[in-house]
Amino acid sequence: MNQRSSILLLFSASLLAACNFPSKQTQPEPTKGHGSSDADKDVHSYSNPEQIKVRHLDLDLEVSFEKETLEGSATLTLEPPTESRKEPLMLDTHGLKITRVEAEQASGTFQPAPFTLGVPDKILGAPLTIQLPRYHGRVRIHYSSSPNAAALQWLTPAQTAGKKHPFLFSQSQAIYARTWIPLQDTPSVRITYDARIRVPRKLMAVMSAEGNFQLHPTKLGNKIGSVPGGLPILVGSMAQFSFRMTQPIPSYLIALAVGDLEFTQLGSRTGVYAEPPMAAKAAKEFEDTEKMLASTEKLYGPYRWGRYDLLVLPPSFPYGGMENPRLTFATPTIIAGDKSLVSLVAHELAHSWSGNLVTNATWSDFWLNEGFTNYVTQRIIEAVYGAERAAMEEVLESQELMELLKTLPEADQILHINLAGRNPEDGVTDIPYAKGATFLRHLEKAYGRGRFDAFLRGYFDHFAFQSIRTSDFVSYLNQHLLRSGGETGQPNVPVDEWIYKPGIPVSAPEPSSPVFSKVEQQAQRWINGQVPSSGLQTANWSYHEWQHFLRSLPTPLPKERMAQLDAAFHFSQSGNSEILHQWLLMAIRNDYSQAYPRLEEFLMSVGRRKFLKPLYAELVKTEAGRLRAVSIYRKARPGYHPIAIATLDEILTWDQK
Ligand code: BES
Ligand code: ZN
């Protein structure tokens, strides 16, 4: 059932009040799981949660597409609200314009509070230091974001699918929440939040939270009954949406998107938001989401976030997906028409356990988020699509890891990576993802599925709604898996080597896929000239088989051979973004110029960093390629997300242009 959200309704004042969430916050559980010694400090935050903790955030923001700013206030509830503390409150900011800071007095009124903004660091931004009065309860910061905020992309109508309305979305992970909200921007701190967001009429706001509509569904009748994202009220010329997140989450999971969105229900707890021209295709592609949710619950216990919806973003979204709670943000490039790329949905859904429920306390512990999530993803794929597909995805991932290990510096091959002085994004490689998942598979194989499944489920329960370090996991592992039962002759998984050493232990399990062996035979026959392209037995090949086929081909490959493949299989025209990406990489490597118009078109229309980075990096390897890259980048750059631009500017040494 589809409902257009752009139909805005007017409400009487009384109903209007009922639709808004009360600003009273619920008390989150305290964060446990780690101590607060200096060694534990998150090196990517200026904040001082060991002295004062922010427990709740109340956001009140107006979205201006003209100024490309968010403007309003953030009210932070502090703990403890005490008279004994003397330390100032330190918050993270990056590029924020702070206009006024007020602190709550014992009387409940807000009075101006002295504050200073430190010298900005390129990676970390600037600390905001606020002197608190003797009694302090809440602190309110009036501010606006910069048009250059790294978390925010402001899209013109031309950059959207509908072409009629502008679009805004945020990407807070890893340390960009501070570019649109002043807060303790560290995953070791968990907060609840409320938000009121004012947007131009006709547009819809969604957040990683419960929309106001869900509180009073019966009052609104059936018409809007299928729009769980929030029903707006009119405030002046703007429409105001209200949200609340009552479960404590880390700051990197606070998310906002604004655009012309349509909601389609998928299952009783699942649905998809997309621009109207994308809505039907998206709903079809993601129709297994409810099944995935049920499968994950069966393995790892109840889903604790209420709804699980997806938001399909415009193609400039720099990531494949982002696990914002209750509302995964996703690139449209996974809509292939045949569900072949939906393991991304499984991945973001899996984060509802690994990452959002049990969270890495610092970015050095990032593998606790992504390695666990990749392991769980494969279990979901196996449950929903079968072991054969899961095995193929495992092999494809392991190939990428092995490639990466050939060139990655040893220090960056360590799961518990040292990121001091670096951007946490430097740690986002196949190491936390694929090496992390392989470590868990090693444990699974050594101790058996039954025991490992019970262990993992227990782990999620034990650390639910907590932010933990690698050492917390290791002690839990020692207690509940390695030493449980105390039998002799336990299988030997080199835990320390996995976590603290580069490379992959020799005893690591190696994935294999019988289906892929057949693909390799076909590829070999073609390479040897035993069979022409048209003679290859490729009937009913899935995306995975095609991908493996392409990766099995040698470099260099003569242009004529590329042309033969293209004529037989139309790779340059592929509607599958992963296949197209792989093919375009090969086109650059082999100077197969017939694919260059398609390459330019792809680079001009897609902003997913995972695709852009290897393509540009491949182009700049030759002088002719570098010139082509520069000319395309000049045109494409204004349409890319700030996060992608930062990466690509380096590859193209753009500063010097
Ligand atoms: N949480 C990540 C995305 C992320 C990581 C953003 C670090 C910023 C910093 C998300 O869950 C993710 O891993 N996305 C992958 C897709 C996945 C299927 C491997 C992506 O975007 O490619
Ligand atoms: Zn992830």
Interacting residues of 654 by C-beta distance below 8 A, sequence separation 6+: 633, 637, 648
Q: What are the tens digits of pLDDT across the range 402-447? A: 999 999 999 999 999 999 999 999 999 999 999 999 999 999 999 9
Catalytic member of 433, 459, 616, 633: 433
Nearest C-alpha neighbor of 339 from the set 2, 576, 621? 576
What is the average pLDDT across 239-260? Answer: 96
Task: Look at the chain and count its residues.
Answer: 657
pLDDT for position 656: 56
Interacting residues of 602 by C-beta distance below 8 A, sequence separation 6+: 580, 581, 584, 611, 615
Go through 54-92 and write b for each residue having 16 or more CB atoms within 10 A of its CB, e for each that does not. bbbbbbbbbbbbeebbbbbbbbbbbeebeeeeeebbbbb
Q: What are the tens digits of pLDDT across the range 575-585? A: 999 999 999 99
Ligand nearest to the CA of 427: 1
Sign, Cα dihedral of 138, 352, 214, 335: positive
Ligand nearest to the CA of 345: 1
Ligand nearest to the CA of 253: 1
Please give the number of the atom of ligand 1 that sits closest to the Cα of 351.
11
- Output the CA 465–ligand 2 centroid distance in Å: 17
- Output the CA 321–ligand 1 centroid distance in Å: 6
- Output the CA 147–ligand 1 centroid distance in Å: 24
pLDDT for position 127: 98
pLDDT for position 106: 86
Atom 2 in ligand 1: residue holding the nearest Cα:
322
Q: What distance in Å separates the CA atoms of residue 371 and residue 255, rounded to the nearest whole number?
A: 23
Atom 8 in ligand 1: residue holding the nearest Cα:
173
pLDDT for position 41: 84
Residue 13 has pLDDT above 70, yes or no: no
Q: Which of 488-492, 528-532, 628-632 shows the lowest per-residue confidence on average (mean pLDDT)? A: 488-492
What the block records as the tokens of 344 is: 């991304």
pLDDT for position 175: 98
Residue 115 has pLDDT above 70, yes or no: yes
Please give the number of the atom of ligand 1 that sits closest to the Cα of 320.
21
Share above pLDDT 90 across residues of the chain, in percent, rounded to a whole number: 84
CB 73 within 8 A of CB 88: no
Distances (CA, A) of 116 to 53, 99, 127, 176: 19, 11, 8, 20
- Tell me how crowded residue 218 is: count the other CB atoms within 10 A of its CB: 7
Confidence band (pLDDT; 50, 70, 90) for 187?
A: very high
pLDDT for position 574: 98
3-state secondary structure 13-41: HHHHHHHCCCCCCCCCCCCCCCCCCHHHC
Atom 11 in ligand 1: residue holding the nearest Cα:
322
Atom 21 in ligand 1: residue holding the nearest Cα:
320
What is the average pLDDT across 613-629? Answer: 98
Ligand 1 binding pocket, CB closer than 6 Å: 173-174, 319-323, 344, 347-348, 351, 370, 425, 428, 610
Residue 137 has pLDDT above 60, yes or no: yes
Residue 85 has pLDDT above 90, yes or no: no
Confidence band (pLDDT; 50, 70, 90) for 5?
A: very low
Q: Between these two residues, 530 and 37, which has the higher pLDDT value?
A: 530
Is 348 an active-site residue? yes
Atom 20 in ligand 1: residue holding the nearest Cα:
320
pLDDT for position 486: 47
CB 560 within 8 A of CB 532: no
- Arithmetic mean of pLDDT over the chain: 91
pLDDT for position 10: 31
pLDDT for position 1: 35
Please give the number of the atom of ligand 1 that sits closest to the Cα of 319.
21
Residue 160 has pLDDT above 80, yes or no: yes
Nearest C-alpha neighbor of 232 from the set 253, 202, 261? 202
Q: Which of 171, 176, 311, 322 has most ligand 1 atoms within 8 Å of its beta carbon, as the pocket-test mutant? A: 322
Q: What are the tens digits of pLDDT across the range 250-300? A: 999 999 999 999 999 999 999 999 999 999 999 999 999 999 999 999 999
What is the average pLDDT across 52-64? Answer: 97
- Output the CA 433–ligand 2 centroid distance in Å: 8
Quick one: the chain helix, strand, coil %, rounded to 5?
40, 20, 40
DSSP state of 657: -
Element (H or E) spanning 245, and its range? strand 238-250
Nearest C-alpha neighbor of 230 from the set 275, 263, 278? 263
Global pTM value: 0.93
Is 433 an active-site residue? yes
- Output the CA 252–ligand 1 centroid distance in Å: 12
Confidence band (pLDDT; 50, 70, 90) for 135?
A: confident
CB 429 within 8 A of CB 365: no
Residue 388 has pLDDT above 90, yes or no: yes
Collapsing DSSP to helix, strand or coil, 517 comes out as helix
- Output the CA 182–ligand 1 centroid distance in Å: 24
Confidence band (pLDDT; 50, 70, 90) for 489?
A: low
Q: Which of 3-17, 117-131, 406-420 shows the lowest per-residue confidence on average (mean pLDDT)? A: 3-17
- Output the CA 540–ligand 1 centroid distance in Å: 30
CB 243 within 8 A of CB 198: no
Ligand nearest to the CA of 177: 1
Q: Which of 370, 380, 426, 647 has most ligand 1 atoms within 8 Å of its beta carbon, as the pocket-test mutant? A: 370
Please give the number of the atom of ligand 1 that sits closest to the Cα of 348.
11
Atom 1 in ligand 1: residue holding the nearest Cα:
322
pLDDT for position 22: 39
What is the average pLDDT across 335-349? Answer: 98
Atom 6 in ligand 1: residue holding the nearest Cα:
173
Catalytic member of 275, 348, 370, 578: 348
CB 31 within 8 A of CB 40: no
pLDDT for position 281: 98
- Output the CA 319–ligand 1 centroid distance in Å: 6
Q: Is 274 exposed, middle or buried (0-12, 13-18, 19+ CB in 10 A)?
A: buried
pLDDT for position 657: 56
What is the average pLDDT across 167-192? Answer: 98
Q: What are the tens digits of pLDDT across the range 561-578? A: 999 999 999 999 999 999
pLDDT for position 202: 86
What the block records as the tokens of 149 is: 């905020």
Atom 14 in ligand 1: residue holding the nearest Cα:
321
**Sequence-ordered alpha helix ranges (H) in 301-365:** 343-350
CB 207 within 8 A of CB 200: no
Ligand nearest to the CA of 174: 1
Residue 221 has pLDDT above 50, yes or no: no
Interacting residues of 326 by C-beta distance below 8 A, sequence separation 6+: 208, 209, 210, 245, 305, 306, 307, 308, 309
Q: What are the tens digits of pLDDT across the range 522-535? A: 999 999 999 999 99
Element (H or E) spanning 273, and its range? strand 270-274
Collapsing DSSP to helix, strand or coil, 457 comes out as helix
